[in-house]
Amino acid sequence: MPAGGAGERGERARTIAVTLPWDRIMMGGRVFLAIGKTLMWPNRRLCDLLKIEHPIIQAPMAGSATPQLAAAVSNAGGLGSLGCASMLPDGLRNVARQMRASTERPFNLNFFVFPRPNTSDAVLTGVIDRLRPYYEELSLDEPSRKLPPIGPGFDDEKLELLLEIRPPVVSFHFGIPDAADVGRLKRAGIAIIGTATNVAEARKLVDGGADAVIAQGWEAGGHRGSHARNGPGDGVGAMALVPQVVDAVKLPVIAAGGIADGRGIAAAFALGASGVQIGTGFLSCDEAGTDAPRRALMRAASDMDTMVTDAFTGRAARARRTRYALEMEESRTPLPDFPQMVALSAPLGDAGAKGDFAFHLYGQAAALNRELPAGELMRTLVAETSDVFEALSAGKEMPA
């Protein structure tokens, strides 16, 4: 919105909201009857781009988003997503086949973009010294100095595979591939979405050829999509981030972070977004791959349950606040490159009692979760959003 945003008012079609105690209205001499409510989204840019009915993207959430969940969301008119970063070619072909068998609507495959890890001996020695007491406490052997060899996050093999599979939508986290690769995907008819955690990253996604930008707020569960490692104090809340990204880029902006119900969806549209991405909100759905302990945690969640830490994977992620995460954040030991740190933290999580070392990814609005089938959650979200839009306009004074 430009400064003094009231300026264009005269040029637009005028909207008058009328609150009636009954369900018909006369206009231009004709009587119009209200015949049930159909939400027409106030901004259809994302719907038009992705060919979806409702601008609600279920976040990819590797390990939690199943083909069943994604298909249910797509079938309900949203965009179902699958986190494919660590899938091998056959696995990827298989889930794409599953998606196509379960829905005729668009779906999204998500990949990570990161440089090949290159952890120095000094960093490895430092973090092992830092972790040794935890390993001893849990009666584990000495932490292994052998970090797994891991390639870059997105490479030629994955590109060729995507050109073969041709999913309707591909989204990227932590950055965007080379413009040439993005160009090939787009020419194959694939819509490209990237994640930004600040305005500068949003601009990089535009330059890289993205078709839409996810503005991921500080509230979001899971890995922050920052294109570089986070520093202390990084993290822009959605309320401040979304309008600044909307002002900075001409693409449709998808708000993410802390959005779990119709209030959050309506707020995102108020901020100028053309859609939302919801992750944590889908974790309690029947079709999600969320295990029983995490379902129980979310049932009892509060707004202060989580924190941002890189102590599990080497990249900042919002996860449940545990003793391990708090102590590692306090000490700020330099960590192995993403995702090699997983090799050192995973044995702790597997062995840890009382959840002190558990890696539970979720966001700041987990307390708003509903335990519903995904299709029913989608319908609830749309109905709630419609109700909020209605409530916001209902207060307007009637012309007299």
**Contacts to its own copies from residues 316-375, by CB under 8 A:** 321, 325-326, 329-330, 332, 363-365, 367-368, 370, 372
Q: Which of 122, 292, 353, 398 binds its own copies (CB under 8 A)?
A: 398
Query: Does 386 participate in binding its own copies (rule CB under 8 A)?
Result: yes
Q: How far is the CB of 224 from its own copies (least distance, A)?
A: 12
Query: Does 232 participate in binding its own copies (rule CB under 8 A)?
Result: yes
Q: Which of 124, 190, 205, 236 binds its own copies (CB under 8 A)?
A: 236
Query: Does 391 participate in binding its own copies (rule CB under 8 A)?
Result: yes
Query: Does 300 participate in binding its own copies (rule CB under 8 A)?
Result: no
Q: Which of 114, 174, 359, 389 binds its own copies (CB under 8 A)?
A: 389
Nearer to its own copies, 103 or 369 (CB): 369
The secondary structure element, H or E, covering residue 308 is: strand 306-309
Nearer to its own copies, 193 or 267 (CB): 267
Q: How far is the CB of 373 from its own copies (least distance, A)?
A: 13
The secondary structure element, H or E, covering residue 69 is: helix 67-75
**Contacts to its own copies from residues 25-54, by CB under 8 A:** 25-29, 32-35, 37-44
From CA 236, how far away is CA 271, in angstroms rounded?
14
Nearer to its own copies, 188 or 270 (CB): 270
Among candidate residues 362, 343, 231, 376, the one with its CA nearest the CA of residue 294 = 362
Q: How far is the CB of 9 from its own copies (least distance, A)?
A: 7
Q: Which of 138, 140, 147, 199 binds its own copies (CB under 8 A)?
A: 199
The answer to whether the CB of 159 falls within 8 A of the CB of 185 is yes
The answer to whether the CB of 251 falls within 8 A of the CB of 206 is yes
The answer to whether the CB of 313 falls within 8 A of the CB of 339 is yes
The answer to whether the CB of 333 falls within 8 A of the CB of 126 is yes
**Contacts to its own copies from residues 266-295, by CB under 8 A:** 266-272
The answer to whether the CB of 349 falls within 8 A of the CB of 383 is no
Angle at CA of residue 397, ends 394 and 398, nearest 5°: 95
Nearer to its own copies, 69 or 325 (CB): 325
DSSP three-state, residue 281: helix
Query: Does 206 participate in binding its own copies (rule CB under 8 A)?
Result: no
From CA 175, how far away is CA 114, in angstroms rounded?
7
Q: Between β-strands 169-173 and 212-216, what pairing exists: parallel, antiparallel or unpaired?
A: unpaired
Q: How far is the CB of 162 from its own copies (least distance, A)?
A: 32
Q: How far is the CB of 292 from its own copies (least distance, A)?
A: 21
Neighbour order of strands in the sheet with 222-223: 222-223, 317-320, 306-309
